[in-house]
C-alpha cells in the first residue's frame, strides 16, 4: 500500500490540535511554538502533495479509498486534482502566517483565570489547527458525504474562534463588544448551518437517486458517480437534478458568500480578530467556491447550465454591491469584508461563465485572493491592534510614524485592486476575458468594479496613512520583526505570482479542462475579423 500522503496531510494538523490543547496551563509559549511547528509540518506535507502531483496525469491523484459507513454508501475516499492540490497548499501556506500574526491574540484572555482548566492560548491555536485539518480534508475528499461532514463540522471550531477570541478593538465598550461578537458568531453559524442542512436534504436526495438507479446501493463516490453517468447507467431526471443542485449550491453560496446570502460575512470579519478573519475568508470560504467548481459543475452539469444565467446576474450584483459598500465603510475590517464579497463575486462569475479562461481564472483567483487578503488584512490588523480602534476616522498620517507598516498596507491594497504586476491582476483579467467571450454584458459591468476597487483602496490609504499625524497616532510603532516575517513572504508571493503564475496555472488548467468537458462546454470560437464578416454575410442571406 502506498504511503497515505493525503491522509497524513490532514492528520498532522488534527494531531497538532490535540497536542496543543493538551499543553498544560501556564506553558502558553510552548503551546504556540508547538502549534506553529505542526502547521509547518503540514506545509511540508502539502508541498510533498504538490511535488508528487503530475499535472495532466490522472484526474484524481494520490488517491486513497477505504470502507467507512457501508450502510450509507460512504467511503473514506481521498484524491486531489490540480485545483485541490493548489488550494491545500494555499491553506498550508497561510496558516503559519495566521498563527504568527495572532501570536498574542489570546494572551488578553489568559489574565483572569477562573479555573485551572482555562487555557485560552492553547484553545486558540488548537482551534486554528483543527480548522486547517478540516479544510484540508474537505479539499481532498472525493466522496460527497465525507466532504459534507467536514464542510459542516468546520463551522464549530470556526464559530469558537470568532466568538471566543474576537476583536477587542471595536468602537464600543467591552460589554457591548462582547454582545456584538457573539451576535456575529451566531449569525455566522446559523447562516452556514442552515445552508448545510439544506444541503443535507440534497445529499440524501442524491443517495436516494443513486440507490434507485444503481441497484439498491447508493453511492457518494464522486468518481463512481461520474463514471456511471458517463456510461449512461445513471440518468438524473432534470427535475431531480435541478432540485439537488439547488440544495448543494445554496450551501456553497452561503459559504462563499454570494450576494444576497453574504450578510454574515461583514459581521463575522468585523468582529473576529484579523488573523481569524483571514482564516475565515482566505481559507475556509474557499471551500465554498471550490465546491461549486467540483460538486455543482461535475455532478450536475445540466442544472449548472440551467442556473448559470441567474447565478451570473447574482455574482455581478455581488461584485458591484460589495465594491460600492466597501467605498462607504467607516470600519477598516468591514471595508475589507465588502471588498472580499466583491471578489467572491468575481470567482463565482468565472466559474459559471464556463469558459476555460474564466474557470482557470477563478481557480487562480481563489489562490490570489487568499494571499492578497491575507497580506492586506493582517497588516490592517497590526494597525488596528496598535491604535485600539478599527474606525477609519481614528487614523491619519500613519506613514510618517510607521513607514514600513504604511508601505506594506499599500502593497496589500494595490494587490486587492488588481494592479498589474501583482498576483490578483492575472486572475481578474482572466475571469473578465473568460466572461466577456460568452457573456459580454456581464463582463462589461463587472469591469466597473475595478474602478470602484481603486476608489476604496486608495481612499482608505489616503485617509489613514497620509496627511498630518492625527491625535492618538503618534505612538503607532512600526512593524516588529515577527510582523515582518508575516508580511514579507506574503508580498514576495504576491509579486512572484503576479509575474510568473505559470506553476499554478499548469496545475490548475488540466483540472479545469476536465470540469468543462463534464459540463459539455467548449470555449466560444474567437471572434476574428474573418469570422465576423462571415457571420455578417450569413445574417445578410
Alpha helix positions (H), 417-524: 423-438, 440-465, 481-499, 502-518
Tell the smallest beta-carbon distance from residue 184 to another protein (Å): 10
Identify the DSSP state of 116.
Answer: T
Tell the smallest beta-carbon distance from residue 235 to another protein (Å): 18
Residue-wise over 418-444: b if at least 16 C-beta within 10 A, else e?
Answer: bbeebbbbbbbebbbbbbbbbbeebbe
d(CA 10, CA 135): 8
d(CA 289, CA 368): 13
CB 338 within 8 A of CB 266: yes
CA distance readout (Å), 343 to 443, 444, 490, 501: 14, 16, 19, 19
Tell the smallest beta-carbon distance from residue 69 to another protein (Å): 5
- Nearest to another protein of 190, 499 (CB atom): 190
Tell the smallest beta-carbon distance from residue 205 to another protein (Å): 6
H/E stretch holding 194: helix 174-213
Q: Is the peptide bond before 260 cis (omega within 30 degrees of 0)?
A: yes
Tell the smallest beta-carbon distance from residue 209 to another protein (Å): 9
- Nearest to another protein of 74, 326 (CB atom): 74
Strands 61-69 and 74-80, bridge-based pairing: antiparallel
- Nearest to another protein of 212, 330 (CB atom): 212
Tell the smallest beta-carbon distance from residue 334 to another protein (Å): 20
| Bridge partner list, 64 | 78
First to last CA, the chain: 65
- Nearest to another protein of 193, 433 (CB atom): 193
* Burial category of 404 from C-beta neighbours within 10 Å (exposed 0-12, middle 13-18, buried 19 and up): middle
Contact positions vs another protein (CB under 8 A): 67-72, 114-115, 117-119, 148-150, 152-153, 155-156, 160, 163-164, 175, 178, 181-182, 185-186, 189-190, 193-194, 197-198, 200-201, 204-205, 207-208, 211-212
- Nearest to another protein of 156, 448 (CB atom): 156
Tell the smallest beta-carbon distance from residue 28 to another protein (Å): 15
- Nearest to another protein of 15, 40 (CB atom): 15
Return the closest-CA partner of residue 424 out of 488, 487, 351, 361: 361
Tell the smallest beta-carbon distance from residue 197 to another protein (Å): 5
d(CA 99, CA 16): 13
H/E stretch holding 399: helix 398-401
d(CA 370, CA 494): 10
Return the closest-CA partner of residue 203 out of 223, 224, 218, 188: 218
- Nearest to another protein of 166, 370 (CB atom): 166
- Nearest to another protein of 75, 286 (CB atom): 75
Element counts in the chain: helices (H) and strands (E): 24, 2
- Nearest to another protein of 175, 232 (CB atom): 175
- Nearest to another protein of 231, 237 (CB atom): 237
- Nearest to another protein of 18, 201 (CB atom): 201
Tell the smallest beta-carbon distance from residue 145 to another protein (Å): 8
Tell the smallest beta-carbon distance from residue 148 to another protein (Å): 7
Tell the smallest beta-carbon distance from residue 435 to another protein (Å): 34
> Which residues contact residue 506 at a Cβ distance below 8 angstroms, ignoring those fewer than 6 apart?
55, 82
Amino acid at each position: 500500500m502506498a504511503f497515505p500522503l493525503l491522509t497524513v496531510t490532514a492528520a498532522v494538523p488534527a494531531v497538532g490540535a490535540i497536542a496543543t490543547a493538551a499543553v498544560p496551563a501556564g506553558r502558553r509559549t510552548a503551546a504556540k511554538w508547538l502549534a506553529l511547528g505542526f502547521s509547518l509540518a503540514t506545509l511540508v506535507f502539502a508541498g510533498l502533495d504538490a511535488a508528487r502531483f503530475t499535472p495532466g496525469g490522472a484526474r484524481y491523484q494520490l488517491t486513497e479509498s477505504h470502507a467507512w459507513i457501508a450502510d450509507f454508501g460512504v467511503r473514506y475516499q481521498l484524491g486531489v486534482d490540480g485545483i485541490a492540490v493548489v488550494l491545500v497548499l494555499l491553506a498550508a501556506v497561510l496558516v503559519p502566517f495566521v498563527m504568527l500574526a495572532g501570536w498574542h491574540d489570546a494572551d488578553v484572555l489568559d489574565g483572569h483565570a477562573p479555573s485551572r482548566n482555562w487555557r485560552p492560548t492553547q484553545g486558540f491555536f488548537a482551534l486554528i489547527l483543527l480548522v486547517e485539518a478540516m479544510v484540508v480534508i474537505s479539499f481532498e475528499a472525493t466522496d460527497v458525504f465525507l466532504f459534507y461532514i467536514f464542510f459542516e463540522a468546520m463551522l464549530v471550531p470556526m464559530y469558537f474562534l470568532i466568538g471566543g477570541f474576537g476583536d477587542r478593538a471595536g468602537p464600543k465598550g467591552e460589554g457591548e463588544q462582547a454582545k456584538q461578537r457573539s451576535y456575529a458568531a451566531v449569525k455566522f453559524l446559523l447562516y452556514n448551518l442552515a445552508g448545510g442542512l439544506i444541503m443535507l436534504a440534497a445529499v440524501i436526495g442524491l443517495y436516494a437517486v443513486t440507490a434507485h438507479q444503481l441497484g439498491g446501493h447508493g453511492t457518494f463516490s464522486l468518481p463512481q458517480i461520474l463514471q456511471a453517468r458517463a456510461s449512461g447507467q445513471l440518468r438524473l431526471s432534470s427535475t431531480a437534478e435541478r432540485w439537488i443542485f439547488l440544495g448543494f449550491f445554496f450551501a456553497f453560496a452561503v459559504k462563499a458568500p454570494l450576494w444576497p446570502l453574504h450578510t454574515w460575512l461583514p459581521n463575522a470579519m468585523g468582529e473576529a480578530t484579523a488573523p481569524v478573519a483571514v482564516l475565515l475568508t482566505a481559507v475556509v470560504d474557499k471551500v465554498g467556491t471550490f465546491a461549486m467548481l467540483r460538486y455543482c459543475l461535475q455532478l450536475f452539469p445540466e442544472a449548472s447550465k440551467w442556473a448559470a444565467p441567474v447565478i451570473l446576474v447574482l455574482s455581478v450584483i455581488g461584485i458591484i454591491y460589495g465594491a460600492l459598500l466597501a467605498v462607504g465603510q467607516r470600519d477598516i475590517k468591514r471595508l475589507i469584508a465588502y471588498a472580499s464579497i466583491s471578489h467572491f463575486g468575481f470567482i463565482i462569475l468565472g466559474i459559471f461563465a464556463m469558459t476555460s479562461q474564466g474557470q482557470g481564472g477563478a481557480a487562480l483567483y481563489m489562490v490570489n485572493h487568499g494571499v492578497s487578503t491575507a497580506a492586506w488584512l493582517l497588516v490592517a490588523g497590526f494597525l488596528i491592534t496598535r491604535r485600539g480602534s478599527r474606525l477609519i476616522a481614528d487614523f491619519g498620517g500613519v506613514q510618517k510614524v510607521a513607514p514600513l507598516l504604511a508601505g506594506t498596507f499599500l502593497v496589500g491594497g494595490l494587490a486587492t485592486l488588481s494592479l498589474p504586476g501583482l498576483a490578483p491582476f492575472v486572475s481578474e483579467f482572466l475571469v473578465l476575458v473568460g466572461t466577456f467571450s460568452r457573456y459580454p454584458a456581464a463582463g462589461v459591468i463587472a469591469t466597473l468594479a475595478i474602478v470602484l476597487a481603486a476608489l476604496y483602496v486608495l481612499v482608505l490609504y489616503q485617509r489613514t496613512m497620509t496627511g498630518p499625524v492625527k491625535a492618538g497616532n503618534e505612538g503607532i510603532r512600526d512593524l516588529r520583526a515577527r510582523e515582518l516575517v508575516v508580511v514579507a513572504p506574503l508580498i514576495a508571493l504576491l509579486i512572484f505570482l503576479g509575474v510568473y503564475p505559470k506553476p499554478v496555472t499548469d496545475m490548475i488548467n488540466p483540472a479545469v479542462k476536465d470540469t468543462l468537458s463534464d459540463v459539455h462546454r467548449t470555449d466560444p470560437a474567437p471572434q476574428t475579423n474573418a469570422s465576423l464578416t462571415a457571420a455578417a454575410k450569413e445574417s445578410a442571406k
